[in-house]
Amino acid sequence: MVLDRVRVENVSASGILFDSETTIGTINGTVRDSLSAGSNRGISVSEGGSGITRIVVERSAAVNNTFGLLVFGTGATVRIGDSNVSGNGTGLSAVSGGAIASYQTNKIDGNGTDGSPTSTITMK
């Protein structure tokens, strides 16, 4: 799936949510040229089942949320590039085996706690 030019503001839970708590298959998605602001979780990816959830976030912003980008669960991976994560309580957060891989072209700054990716990807 592709979410392109999506704008989500002031949602009480997750602005953009990929919730795969009970899947056993694979979910692949892209968030491109989008904004999630003023929510509890700007972009949230959760994999609690035995499936795999892989999301690419490019040219997007997660700003002024409690969590900018939250990735939960061993099967959950987000690859992020050319994006802005700022003004959040916590910028990047990968928990319970979740992974955030950065293309190293992001602006992650000005959060209460910036956080950091779990790995980096070499540009090709």
Give the mean model confidence (pLDDT) for residues 90-117: 98
pTM value?
A: 0.94
| Helix (H) and strand (E) counts in the chain | 0, 15
Tokens of 116: 């950091």
Q: How many CB atoms lie within 10 A of CB 92?
A: 25
The better pLDDT of the pair 21, 31 is held by 31
pLDDT tens per residue across span 4-24: 999 999 999 999 999 887 777
Task: Give me the pLDDT at residue 111, please.
Answer: 98
Give the mean model confidence (pLDDT) for residues 67-76: 96
Q: What percent of the chain has pLDDT over 90?
A: 88
Q: What share of the chain is helix, strand, coil (3-state, %, to 5)?
A: 0, 55, 45
The 14-19 sheet, strands edge to edge: 14-19, 41-46, 67-72, 90-95
